[in-house]
Amino acid sequence: MSFMDKDFLLESYTAKELFHEYAAEMPIIDYHCHLNADEILENRQFTDLSQAWLGGDHYKWRLMRANGIAEKFITGDAPGFDKFEAFANVLPRAAGNPVFHWAHLELQRFFDCDIPLNPDTAKEIWGLCNKKLENDNNLRVHGIIKQMNVEVIVTTDDPADELNSHKKIAEENTVSAKVLPGWRPGAVLDIDREDFITYIGRLGNVSGVQVEDFSSLKEALLNRMEFFNSLGCRTADHGIHQLSYAPSKDEQIEAIFKKRKQNETLTTTETDSFRYALMSFLAKEYARFGWVMELHLGVKRGVNKKMTKLLGPDTGFECIDPSCDFSGIAEFLNELNNEDKLPKTILFSINPSFDQIINTIAGCFPEEGIRSKVQQGSAWWFNDTLAGMEQQIMTFAEAGVLANFVGMLTDSRSFLSYTRHEYFRRILCNMLGGWVDSGRYPADKKYLEILIKDICYNNTKAFFNL
């Protein structure tokens, strides 16, 4: 068998048939990513492969750091080829890591390059890819989006963002995909962060509401939600370290907010109460707007304080936090459900041991007319691997209705990462093909086609009201 050929990861005739007939050509709806809307607007052209590949991709950064590469070759000011060569030295050592597969899929799909990357081939691949980046418009941002058949891109945006690029993208209509904002209110939920007072001042300025208390904070946020909704927002994403069940009376929350505005230190109980109250308010508004609520749970961020201080947040120094309060999550969803104000919800966990917990919580909140209203999201971050995806798919299937799964997303800052959808689809088809061949599912093409096309595309389109 050739290295990563057209039947890569497809271990049976049935799996190959399912992927090539039903999955390969389905459009992509990327319902959560960290792509830069400014770069989409300007149709960015990358100057070299290092810029296109290594800029902002903390998956690749972690591999390089694990191999002892100096930071100047990762996020520093080393020349582009030197960074690329450093990565090429690491990649052949990373057998079994998904980055090994992703990198080669990107070389194949975008650069027609089937040469395995290693120190011996680095110079040849560098020259081949850079020539294409310089001369091929299909490798500018708009071309990448079009050739990967991306239909919708949902970015990650702060409530205080003015979304100027989103407005211009919609007005100019030069991108083949819809580019929609995604609401991400983490800065206002973390009341204990150092810049909270500065942030709510900025939020007040952009919303036109002077934020003096918790009541006016909610007014300012509602103003921004209405603005986001006018630009097509369909989802609200939350990277929550902890959401404890901590209901409090309005006057208690006002007192907590006032205490924080006076720069006094809050207790853990007070921060939990504030976060719970604000999430309850937000979730009820999401239900009213028809938005999907996404909760990304269980991450301990900035673990290496020295490097985080040097490079900033989201630079590859996060890990699994095993202390996520799923009892609090269940109570939170139940409280919303009791008031008939529970939005469609996707629960993501960075800890694979939480898969079964999430799926059993999700199954407690059905609603007539909606398929799997609360459900587990795709294998996320450190689980975004061959084994991790297989486990997530299997757990979802065993606890619920697999055909209702909304499928894959990139969660990436790299425009070349759309090959991750292909990676997921190959794994899905290989699993289903194995079930058919072992007699665990009938060889009924009609229902296999429904399963695959719904998971790869149709469910996402319906779930997010696109």
CATH number at residue 65: 1.10.2020.10
State whether 329 and 398 are in the same domain: yes
Distance CA 396, CA 18 (A): 20
Same-domain check for residues 251 and 359: yes
Domain-ending residue, one of 83, 105, 139: 139
pLDDT at residue 277, rounded to an integer: 97
Tens of pLDDT, residue by residue over 81-90, are 999 999 999 9
Judge whether 5 lies within some domain: no
Q: How many CB atoms within 10 Å of residue 168?
A: 15
Q: What is the mean pLDDT of the segment spanning 103-123?
A: 98
In this structure, the answer to whether residues 208 and 65 fall within a common structural domain is no
Q: Are residues 115 and 172 in the same domain?
A: no
In the predicted model, what is the mean pLDDT of residues 221-236?
98
- What per-residue confidence (pLDDT) applies to 323? 84
Residue 416 domain flag: yes
**What average pLDDT does range 136-162 have in this prediction?**
97
Helix, strand, coil content of the chain in percent (nearest 5):
55, 10, 35
Provide the CATH number for the domain around residue 277.
Answer: 3.20.20.140
| Statement to judge: residues 69 and 173 lie in one domain | no
Edge to edge, the sheet with strand 150-154 lists 28-30, 150-154, 178-180
Do both 158 and 89 map to the same domain? no
* Claim to verify: residue 322 and residue 421 sit in the same structural domain: yes
Co-location of 101 and 72 in the same domain:
yes
User: What would the mean pLDDT of 402-408 be, rounded to a whole number?
Assistant: 98
Give pLDDT, residue 12. 97
Residues 170, 193, single domain; the answer is: yes
Which of the four pLDDT bands, split at 50, 70 and 90, describes residue 73?
very high
Quote the domain boundaries for residue 52: 45-139
The three state secondary structure string of 414-461 is: CHHHHHHHHHHHHHHHHHHHHHHHCCCCCCCHHHHHHHHHHHHHHHHH
* Average of per-residue pLDDT values in the chain: 96
**Within this chain, do residues 281 and 368 fall inside the same structural domain, yes or no?**
yes
How far apart are alpha carbons 82 and 70 in whole angstroms? 11
Largest CA distance in the chain: 68
Phi/psi of residue 423, each to 5°?
-55, -50
pLDDT of residue 461: 98
Question: Which of 114, 139, 164 is the last residue in one of the domains?
Answer: 139
In a domain, 3, yes or no: no
Of 80, 112, 139, the last residue of a domain is 139
Q: Assess if residue 1 is contained within a domain.
A: no
Encoding tokens for residue 3?
Answer: 């290295």
State the total domains in the chain: 2
Q: Based on the fold, state whether residues 336 and 263 are members of the same structural domain.
A: yes
Backbone angles phi, psi at 293, to 5 degrees: -95, 125
Same-domain check for residues 361 and 282: yes
Q: What is the mean pLDDT of residues 292-302?
A: 93
Q: Is residue 8 part of a domain?
A: no
In a domain, 340, yes or no: yes
- The percent of residues in the chain predicted with pLDDT above 90, rounded, is 95
